[in-house]
Amino acid sequence: MIEPVSFPEHLNRLRWAQGDHVLIAAPTKCGKTTLVSKLVDRRSHVVSFVSKLRDDTFGREYPGWRRYERWPRTVPDYDRRILLWPKPGKTLRETRDKHREVFREALDRITLEGNRTVVIDEGLYMSEPKFVGLGDEIGMLFYFGRSGGITMVLLTQRPAWIPKVVYSSTTHAWIARTRDRDDLRRLGDFGGLDTREVQQTVARLPRRHDFLYLNPQGDARPAIINTRR
C-alpha cells in the first residue's frame, strides 16, 4: 500500500540531483505551479519556457525572475532565474512559428552550454508536430541531457500527451488523478514499477491537489502527497 506523506516532509526527503529529470502531470488548478516552484528553488540556474499569451500568475509565482524574449548570446551570471517568454505574434500561426524558432534555438544553445535546469510548461503544445513540434528535441534532452548536467522538468495536463522517451528517462514523477484509459496505459511505460498498482493508485487519488510521487530510476518509495498539506 502506498502511504501519504505531508508535502513539507516529502520535500525534505527528496534527493534531486542535477541531471535528474522530472515529469509533472496534472489537470489545470491541481497544483503543478506550486510544485514546480518549490522544486526549482533547489536549482541555481533555471530557465522556464513560457508559451502562454499572457499570464499574471508568473509574476506572483516567480518573483525576481528576468524575462527574455529570446535566448541571449551571453547570459549574465546574475541572471540565474530566466523566463524565456516571446511576445505573441499578430496571429496564432505567427505566434506558434515564433515559439518554434525561439525555443528551438534556446534548446540548442542550452545543450552546448549545459548545467541548467529547463522547465517546459504545456508539454502537448511544445511537443506535438501540429503545434510547436519540439518533441524530438525534448526527448533527446531527456535521453542525453544528464551527461551535460541538464535537468529537464516537463509539465503536462495529460500523461498520454508527451513523448514515450520521457517515461524511460524520468527520475522523479508526480502524477495527479486521471481515469482516462490512454493516460493510465501510458503510465505503464515507467520502467521498474508495479504498473497495476500505479494505475490503480492514480485512478483513486481522492483530492484535487493529490499527487502520486514515483522514483522510477531510484530507490525512493512511492508516496501520495498533497501540495496544500
Mean pLDDT rounded to a whole number for the chain: 89
Q: Is residue 217 part of a domain?
A: no
CA distance 66 to 81: 6
The pLDDT assigned to 140 comes to 93
The pLDDT assigned to 2 comes to 85
Q: Is residue 128 part of a domain?
A: yes
Percent of the residues in the chain that have a pLDDT greater than 90, as a whole number:
53
CA distance 11 to 29: 20
Q: Is residue 201 part of a domain?
A: no
Which tens digit of pLDDT belongs to each residue from 82-93?
999 999 999 999
Which tens digit of pLDDT belongs to each residue from 163-176?
888 998 999 999 99
The pLDDT assigned to 64 comes to 80
Range of the domain at 134: 18-176
Q: Is residue 164 part of a domain?
A: yes
CA distance 8 to 204: 23
Q: Is residue 11 part of a domain?
A: no
Which tens digit of pLDDT belongs to each residue from 130-156?
999 999 999 999 999 888 899 999 999
Q: Is residue 204 part of a domain?
A: no
CB 187 within 8 A of CB 198: yes
The pLDDT assigned to 52 comes to 83
Which tens digit of pLDDT belongs to each residue from 13-68?
999 999 999 999 998 888 888 899 889 988 889 999 998 877 666 556 667 888 89
Cα atoms found within 13 Å of the Cα of residue 122, Cβ hemisphere only: 16
CATH number assigned to the domain comprising residue 60: 3.40.50.300
Q: Is residue 76 part of a domain?
A: yes
Return the C-alpha cell found at 153.
522538468
φ, ψ dihedrals at 126, nearest 5°: -75, -30
- In eight-state DSSP terms, residue 86 is P
CA distance 178 to 153: 20
- Calculate the alpha carbon distances from 73 to 17, 70, 167, 183 in Å: 27, 9, 32, 40
- Amino acid, res. 2: I
The pLDDT assigned to 65 comes to 85
Q: Is residue 199 part of a domain?
A: no
The pLDDT assigned to 26 comes to 92
CA distance 21 to 166: 9
* pLDDT category of residue 228 using cuts at 50, 70 and 90: confident
- Structurally, the chain folds into a number of domains equal to 1
* pLDDT category of residue 108 using cuts at 50, 70 and 90: very high
